[in-house]
Amino acid sequence: MTLFEVWAPLPERVRLDLDGAIHSMDRCAGGWWRVEVTAAEGARYGFLTDEDPTVLPDPRSPRQPDGVHGRSALHRLDLSVWTDANWTGRPLAGAVYYEMHVGTFTPEGTFDSAIEHLDHLVELGITVVELMPVNAFDGPHNWGYDGVLWYAVHEPYGGPDGLQRFVDACHARGLAVALDVVYNHLGPSGNYLPRFAPYLTDGRNTWGQSLNLDGPDSDEVRAHIIGNALRWLRDFHIDALRLDAVHALVDRTATHLLAELATETTRLAAHVRRPLTLIAESDLNDSTLITPRAAGGYGLTGQWNDDLHHAIHTAVSGERQGYYADFGSLRCLAHTLTHGFFHAATFSSFRGRTHGRPIDTAVTPAAALLAYTCNHDQIGNRAIGDRPSAYLTDGQLAIKAALVLCSPYTPMLFMGEEWGARTPFQFFTSHTDPVIAAATADGRKAEFADHGWSAEEVPDPQDPATFLRSKLDWAELEESRHLRLLSCYRKLLALRRQRPELTDPWLSHTSVDYDESARWIVVHRGALKLVCNLSEDQVTVPVTGFSLLSWEPPTEGPSATTIPAHSFAILADR
Catalytic residue numbers, as ranges: 244, 281
d(CA 69, CA 152): 13
Diameter of the chain measured on Cα atoms: 87
Do 75 and 40 meet the contact criterion of CB atoms below 8 Å apart?
A: no
Instruction: Count CB neighbours of 552 within 10 A.
Output: 15
Q: Residue 14's beta-bridge partner residues?
A: 49
H or E element in which residue 403 lies: helix 394-405
DSSP string spanning 152-193? EEPGGGTHHHHHHHHHHHHHHTT-EEEEEE--S---SSS--G
Cα 237 to Cα 338, 363, 436: the distances in Å are 35, 30, 35
d(CA 291, CA 239): 20
Cα torsion through 125, 130, 134, 138, rounded to 10: -100
Taking alpha carbons only, the member of 153, 452, 474 closest to residue 322 is: 452
Cα torsion through 384, 385, 390, 392, rounded to 10: 110
d(CA 306, CA 326): 13
Sort residue 472 into left (φ over 0), alpha (ψ -120 to 50) or beta. beta
Cα torsion through 466, 469, 472, 478, rounded to 10: 180
Measured in residues, the chain has a length of: 574
Do 210 and 250 meet the contact criterion of CB atoms below 8 Å apart?
A: yes
Do 232 and 241 meet the contact criterion of CB atoms below 8 Å apart?
A: yes
Looking from the CA of 307 toward its CB, the CA atoms found within 13 Å total 28
d(CA 473, CA 364): 39
What per-residue string of b and e applies to 144-157 under the rule 16 or more CB within 10 Å gives b? bbbbbbbbbbbbbb
Burial of residue 348, with CB atoms counted within 10 A of its CB: 0-12 exposed, 13-18 middle, 19 or more buried: middle
Do 528 and 548 meet the contact criterion of CB atoms below 8 Å apart?
A: yes
